[in-house]
Amino acid sequence: MEQEEIILSEREIDYMYHAVGLDHNRPKRGVYRLPRNYYDAGGNDVLVWNNLVAKGLARYVEGVYMVSETGLKLIEKLILAKIKI
């Protein structure tokens, strides 16, 4: 089965990184320990996150957006490190 290509903007990637704390922390020895997984969006941020939800890379849970399992796997490929929850 062929995988569908996902096109992301730099802003979408930045929001996903911020949600999981990659804007302040970096992987160590090929592993990234997830300090959090949420983004409390408002204003225009909601449009970006709704696009990520539509692409299957995020989900909306109890008033906040979270990077989905598929999104976490994509981040692993982008940062070349394993994510540990």
Q: Where are the alpha helices (DSSP H) in the chain?
A: 10-19, 45-54, 69-79
Measured between alpha carbons, how far is residue 20 from residues 39, 50, 68 in Å? 8, 17, 11
Whether the pTM exceeds 0.85: the reply is yes
pLDDT tens, residue by residue, 30-68: 999 999 999 999 999 999 999 999 999 999 999 999 999
DSSP code of residue 57: S
Instruction: For residues 30 and 5, give the distance between their C-alpha atoms in angstroms, rounded to a whole number.
Output: 25
Q: Lowest-confidence range among 16-25, 49-58, 66-75?
A: 16-25
> What are the residue ranges spanned by the domains of the chain?
10-84
